[in-house]
Structure 1
Amino acid sequence: MKDFHSGSIQTKASAKILILGGISEAKKLAQQLHSSGFSLIYSIQGGVRKLKADYDVAAGGFSQYSDTDSPKDSSLSGLINFIRKNQITLLVDATHPYADTISNTALETSKRLNIPYLQYTRPPWNKDELTTAPLFLKVQELSSYEQILSVTQEFNRLFWAIGYNSISNLTHKLPSHQRWIFRTAKETSAEDLKNLDQVATGIDTIKQIGPFSVEHEIDLFQQKQIDALICKNSGGNFNEAKLKAASALDIPVFLLKRPNKIAANCQYSSIETLFNAIIARI
Structure 2
Amino acid sequence: MKKLKILLIGGTKDASNITQHIKENYDSYILTTTTTEYGSKLAIESGSDDTIAKPLLKDEFIKLIENNDFNLLIDATHPYASHITQTSVSLSEICNINYIRFERLPSNLENIDTSRVHEVTSLDEAGKLIKSNYNNGNVLHLAGANTMENILKYVPVSKFYARILKVPKSLEKCESLRIPEDHIIPMKGTSSLEENIKIIEETNADVIITKESGDIGGVTNKINAANAKDIDIIMLKRPKIKNLNKKDIISNLNQLDEKINNYFYN
TM over 0.5: yes
Q: TM-score range by the shorter chain?
A: 0.7 to 0.9
Q: 1:230 and 1:165, CA in 2 relative to 1: closer, same or farther beyond 3 A?
A: same
Q: 1: distance between equivalents of 2:141 and 2:86?
A: 26
Q: 2: distance between equivalents of 1:147 and 1:183?
A: 21
- The structure 2 residue matched to 1:87, chosen from 69, 75, 79, is 69
- The residue that corresponds to 1:222 in the other structure is 201
- The residue that corresponds to 1:8 in the other structure is none
Deviations 1:59-88 (CA, angstroms, capped at 9, x unpaired): 31352xxxxxxxxxxx10111122223221
- The residue that corresponds to 1:249 in the other structure is 229
- The residue that corresponds to 2:153 in the other structure is 172
How do 1:259-278 residues align onto structure 2 when only pairs under 5 Å count?
259-262=239-242, 263-264=244-245, 265-278=247-260
Matched, 1:22 2:22: no
1:76 counterpart letter in structure 2: K
Q: 2: distance between equivalents of 1:86 and 1:260?
A: 31
Matched, 1:45 2:35: yes
1:31 counterpart letter in structure 2: Q
- The residue that corresponds to 1:69 in the other structure is none
List alignment gaps of at least 5 residues for structure 2.
Answer: none
1:267 counterpart letter in structure 2: I
Q: 1:109 and 1:96, CA in 2 relative to 1: closer, same or farther beyond 3 A?
A: same
Q: Secondary structure at the match of 1:260?
A: coil
- The residue that corresponds to 1:140 in the other structure is 118
- The structure 2 residue matched to 1:119, chosen from 90, 101, 112, is 101
Could you tell me the percent identity over the aligned residues?
27
- The structure 2 residue matched to 1:77, chosen from 55, 59, 62, is 59
Q: 1: distance between equivalents of 2:118 and 2:193?
A: 22
TM-aligned CA deviation for residue 248 of structure 1: 1.8
Deviations 1:80-106 (CA, angstroms, capped at 9, x unpaired): 122223221111111110111111111
- The structure 1 residue matched to 2:54, chosen from 40, 51, 61, is 61
The total of aligned residue pairs comes to: 253
The answer to whether the Cα contact below 8 Å between 1:181 and 1:204 also exists between their aligned partners in 2 is: yes
Deviations 1:96-148 (CA, angstroms, capped at 9, x unpaired): 1011111111111111111111111112235x52xx44x45511111112222
The answer to whether the Cα contact below 8 Å between 1:214 and 1:241 also exists between their aligned partners in 2 is: yes
TM-aligned CA deviation for residue 281 of structure 1: 1.0
The answer to whether the Cα contact below 8 Å between 2:104 and 2:251 also exists between their aligned partners in 1 is: yes
Matched, 1:207 2:186: yes
Q: 2: distance between equivalents of 1:189 and 1:239?
A: 21
The answer to whether the Cα contact below 8 Å between 2:140 and 2:207 also exists between their aligned partners in 1 is: yes
List alignment gaps of at least 5 residues for structure 1.
Answer: 1-10, 64-74
1:206 counterpart letter in structure 2: I
Identify the structure with the greater helix proportion. Answer: 2
Matched, 1:12 2:5: no
Q: 2: distance between equivalents of 1:269 and 1:252?
A: 29
Q: 1:191 and 1:120, CA in 2 relative to 1: closer, same or farther beyond 3 A?
A: closer
Q: 2: distance between equivalents of 1:277 and 1:160?
A: 37
RMSD: 2.7
- The residue that corresponds to 1:34 in the other structure is 23
Q: 1:191 and 1:253, CA in 2 relative to 1: closer, same or farther beyond 3 A?
A: closer
The answer to whether the Cα contact below 8 Å between 1:19 and 1:40 also exists between their aligned partners in 2 is: no
TM-aligned CA deviation for residue 189 of structure 1: 7.8
